[in-house]
Each structure stands twice: as structure tokens, then as C-alpha cells.
Structure 1
């Protein structure tokens, strides 16, 4: 039977883990979460942070586009019909 793959990074972080990940103090992160400045949610009475939402938030704040650029191909003209 296959062993369960062990996840090396947590998807949901607590205040300490998220502040360490973001490189800011826990007090600052708590204030950001309380003011709704940063994506967070409460589980019971404790703040939690989804890592993928923090990454997207950082990309947005830094002006980085999180998706690959979309290339738009010009429409091909239809061949002209015969004149009647």
C-alpha cells in the first residue's frame, strides 16, 4: 500500500508562521489582519492565513502579475467572396 505523501509546507499558517514568512512582526500582522488589509480568517478566536492567498496578495501589492501574459492573435480576414 502506498504511503501518504508528507506535505513539506503548510497551506494554513498561524500568526507566528505567517509573520515569519512575510518578514514582519506578529503585532504588525495582527493589526493588518484586524483591519482587513491582508487576507486572513479567524478559526475560533485565532487568526489564520492561507499561504496561497498571501502569495497572491504580495504579488498584487508588488505589481507582479500572477498569471502568464495572454497573447492575443489577430483575427484572420476571411477571403473576399466573388462579386456577382
Structure 2
């Protein structure tokens, strides 16, 4: 039951990530973000997006080290 609440649609995921829907769709088409289709609509698991953001932040910090 809690698992179902963790699934977001494109609008919710773009707001959660702080990016536009166009950017989110581009990330999907380029395979940059984990998503799955339910029928003809893209869906995102909150826990998966959290892990994705953590990895992106870790890579950003690693890239700034000199």
C-alpha cells in the first residue's frame, strides 16, 4: 500500500526534481533517468528518483575535486 503512494507521474516527478517536464522527457528519451511505462504513461518510483539524485550529487562532487 505504501509502495503505490511512492509512484509519481511526469508532473509530480518534474516538480519533485525541480526540472521542467520537457527536460524530464528528454532525460527519459536519452535513458538518463529511471522510469517505466504503465499503459502509455511514464511513471517514476520516488525511492528510485532519490537514489538517482544521490548518485548525480556524488558525481558532481567528485568532478569538482582537484
Please classify the TM superposition score into its range, dividing by the shorter chain length: 0.7 to 0.9
Give unpaired runs (5+ residues) of structure 2: 60-66
Alignment match, 2:17: 22
In the TM superposition, residue 61 of structure 1 has moved relative to its aligned partner by 0.8
* Superposed CA offset, 1:46-70 (max 9, x none): 1100000000000011018xxxxxx
Larger Rg: 1
Greater RCO between the two (CA within 8 Å, min separation 6)? Answer: 2
Q: How many residue pairs were aligned? A: 57
In structure 1, stretches of 5+ residues that fail to align are: 1-5, 65-84
Stretches of 4+ aligned residues off by more than 3 angstroms: none
SS at match of 2:51: helix
- Over the residues paired in the alignment, what is the CA RMSD in angstroms? 1.7
Counterpart in the other structure of 1:46: 41
TM-score by length of 2: 0.78
1:63 counterpart = 2:51? no
TM (normalized to structure 1)?
Answer: 0.62
SS in 2 for 1:63: helix
